[in-house]
Amino acid sequence: MFRFALALSLVCSLAVPVGAQQQKVDITWLSFDPAAKTAKFQLIAGLTGLNGALNFNGFRDGQLTLVIPVGWKAEIAFKNHDGMLPHSAEVISPQTPLPTQPVSAAIPRAFTLKLAEGLPPQGTDVMRFAAQPAGEYLIFCGVPGHGAAGMWIRLQVSATPKTPALLLTPSTGAK
């Protein structure tokens, strides 16, 4: 009986589709200094194979939210982990439909180099900007077609939280 139960549990665990597994938030992606009011976030393009590697930190379609208190300094260290495709990042206003190419950044200096061309595999850049004004934003890949295909997460700049946070959020589109 024990062997049957063990075999059944093994078969059931193998039958779970990969897409059904919940991506976890790695707490090392975010660090902050409350005294200096500085938030540092590691933004990793193509971290996993999810969505054909069109993801940030293994999340797509806004399923991860970076929360930064309004007025704090944001330092987003971008790395293209995807071994095949170029990627970029910029902070944009939410819009429907999502743009198919780069648009003007919603916050000054909140974008990487080569927005349309993208940074090559293992390419890096750092976005440094003041997290203001308060509002809802998207961190969006500007390489044509990538953001519209789901390569975006959320950025919330808010006066409510006292410290930055990373939150899992349901995918509801760019609204």
Q: What is the DSSP letter of 18?
A: G
Q: At 166, phi and psi to the nearest 5? A: -115, 130
**Residue-wise pLDDT tens for the chain (175 aa)?**
333 333 333 333 333 333 434 678 999 999 999 999 999 999 999 999 999 999 999 999 999 999 999 999 999 999 999 999 999 999 999 999 999 999 999 999 999 999 999 999 999 999 999 999 999 999 999 999 999 999 999 999 999 999 999 999 986 655 4
pTM for the structure as a whole:
0.86
Write out the two tokens for 175.
Answer: 């609204």
Question: What is the strand order of the sheet 135-140 is part of?
Answer: 90-92, 135-140, 152-158, 64-69, 165-168
pLDDT at 16: 31
pLDDT at 19: 41
Cβ–Cβ under 8 Å, residues 133 and 108: no
Write out the two tokens for 5.
Answer: 């139960």
Q: Where does the chain have alpha helices with state H?
A: 2-15
Cβ–Cβ under 8 Å, residues 137 and 127: no
